């Protein structure tokens, strides 16, 4: 059984291995994203959070998923192009995965088991916070924006 987020791996949107262990010692906000969602403008806040904190050992990790309302129908290349051209996204993105159901990515299965189904993604732009030891410490529903005091204080607390 997995014990930390470091036990999991994604593929980057460019098809390269992206093990969570890459982020050892860093606080990571893992967000399931979608290009055609009412919450899509949160990319702006995620990018700002990344730019303001990337030198302070905080990582934003975007995880495109097409599980809710078919709002991420594109290919990895289309998703990457959309994120970069529309929102200037420079934080790491994974390839498109499933965050629920029978083909759920193992990280999301573990997160739901760790924090309970009540904290599993119910829609796009659900956020998980992983501390520098790989421990899953918080979950935030879609409506909680990256600029919110709730997320900022959780990140600050995680870094203590």
Task: Return the structure tokens found at 41.
Answer: 């403008």
- Phi then psi for residue 54, to 5 deg, are -65, -25
Q: Which residues pair with 58 in a beta bridge?
A: 27
CA pair distance 42, 33, nearest whole angstrom: 9
* Active site residues per annotation: 37
| Contact (CB, 8 A) for 72 and 43 | no
Angle, alpha carbons 143-146-151 (nearest 5°): 90
3-state secondary structure of 59: strand
List Cα–Cα distances, 70 to 32, 76, 101, 136, 150, in angstroms. Answer: 13, 15, 14, 27, 28
């Amino acid at each position: 059984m997995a014990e930390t987020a470091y036990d999991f791996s994604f593929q980057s949107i460019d098809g390269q291995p992206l093990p969570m262990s890459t982020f050892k010692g860093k606080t990571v906000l893992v967000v399931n994203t979608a290009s055609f969602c009412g919450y899509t403008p949160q990319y702006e806040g995620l990018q700002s959070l990344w730019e303001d904190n990337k030198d302070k050992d905080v990582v934003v990790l975007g995880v495109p998923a097409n599980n809710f309302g078919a709002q991420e129908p594109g290919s990895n290349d289309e998703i990457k192009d959309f994120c970069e051209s529309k929102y200037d996204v420079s934080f790491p993105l994974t390839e498109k995965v499933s965050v629920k159901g029978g083909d759920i990515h193992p990280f999301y299965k573990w997160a739901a088991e760790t924090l309970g189904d009540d904290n599993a993604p119910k829609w796009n732009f659900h956020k998980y916070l992983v501390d520098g030891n790989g421990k899953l410490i918080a979950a935030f529903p879609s409506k909680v924006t990256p600029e919110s005091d709730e997320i900022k204080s959780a990140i600050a607390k995680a870094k203590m």
